[in-house]
Amino acid sequence: MKDRILKEFKSRFVTEPQLYASAGRINLIGEHTDYNGGFVFPGAIDKVIMAAIAPNETEKVKVYSIDMDEEVEFGLNEEDAPTSSWARYIFGVCREILKRGGAVKGFDAVFAGNIPLGAGLSSSAALESCFAFALNDLFNDNTIDKFELAKIGQATEHNYCGVNCGIMDQFASVMGQKGKLIRLDCRTMEFEYFPFAPIDYELILVDSKVKHELADSPYNKRRASCERVAKRLGLETLRDATIPMLKAIRPDITAEDYFRAKFVIEEKERVLAVCDALYNGDYEKVGEEMYATHSGLSEDYEVSCEELDFLTQLARECGVTGSRIMGGGFGGCTINLIKTDKKDFFIERVTQEFKEKYGHEPGIYPVVISDGARKII
Q: What does the alpha-carbon distance between residue 63 and residue 231 come to, in Å, rounded to a whole number?
A: 43
Q: Which stretch binds ligand GLA (CB under 6 A): 32-40, 254-262, 330-338, 360-368?
A: 32-40
84/220 with CB nearer ligand GLA:
220
Does residue 116 interact with ligand GLA by CB under 6 A? no
Q: Which stretch binds ligand GLA (CB under 6 A): 137-145, 166-174, 198-206, 294-302?
A: 166-174
Of residues 195-224, which lie at the interface with ligand GLA (CB under 6 A)?
none
Q: Which stretch binds ligand GLA (CB under 6 A): 92-100, 110-118, 160-168, 244-252?
A: 160-168
State which of residues 35, 86, 107, 258 lies at the interface with ligand GLA (CB under 6 A). Answer: 35
Does residue 168 interact with ligand GLA by CB under 6 A? yes
Q: What does the alpha-carbon distance between residue 70 and residue 193 come to, in Å, rounded to a whole number?
A: 38
Of residues 273-302, which lie at the interface with ligand GLA (CB under 6 A)?
none
What HEC string does the chain produce?
A: CHHHHHHHHHHHCCCCCEEEEEEEEEECCCCCCHHHCCEECEEEEEEEEEEEEEECCCCEEEEEECCCCEEEEEECCHHHCCCCHHHHHHHHHHHHHHHCCCCCCCEEEEEEECCCCCCCCCHHHHHHHHHHHHHHHHHCCCCCCHHHHHHHHHHHHHHHCCCCCCCHHHHHHHHCECCEEEEEECCCCCEEEEECCCCCEEEEEEECCCCCCCCCCHHHHHHHHHHHHHHHCCCCCHHHCCHHHHHHCHHHCCHHHHHHHHHHHHHHHHHHHHHHHHHCCCHHHHHHHHHHHHHHHHHHCCCCCHHHHHHHHHHHHCCCCEEEECCCCCCCEEEEEEEHHHHHHHHHHHHHHHHHHHCCCCEEEEECECCCCEECC
x/- map, 118-157, ligand GLA, by CB under 6 A = ----x-----------------------------------
Radius of gyration of the chain (CA): 21
Please confirm, yes or no, whether 67 is among the known catalytic residues.
no
In whole angstroms, how close is the CB of 64 to ligand GLA at the nearest point? 26
In whole angstroms, how close is the CB of 34 to ligand GLA at the nearest point? 5
Asked if 85 and 129 count as a contact pair (C-beta separation under 8 A), the reply is no
Does residue 166 interact with ligand GLA by CB under 6 A? yes
Does residue 307 interact with ligand GLA by CB under 6 A? no
State which of residues 9, 13, 26, 32 lies at the interface with ligand GLA (CB under 6 A). Answer: 32
Catalytic residue among 34, 69, 108, 169: 169
32/343 with CB nearer ligand GLA:
32
Angle at alpha carbon of residue 289, lines to 285 and 291, rounded to 5°: 115
State which of residues 29, 61, 93, 165 lies at the interface with ligand GLA (CB under 6 A). Answer: 165
In whole angstroms, how close is the CB of 327 to ligand GLA at the nearest point? 4
In whole angstroms, how close is the CB of 3 to ligand GLA at the nearest point? 31
Of residues 325-354, which lie at the interface with ligand GLA (CB under 6 A)?
327-328
State which of residues 96, 128, 148, 169 lies at the interface with ligand GLA (CB under 6 A). Answer: 169
Q: Which stretch binds ligand GLA (CB under 6 A): 28-36, 53-61, 133-141, 198-206?
A: 28-36
Residues of this chain that bind ligand GLA (CB under 6 A): 31-32, 34-35, 122, 165-166, 168-169, 327-328
- The residues annotated as belonging to the active site are 169
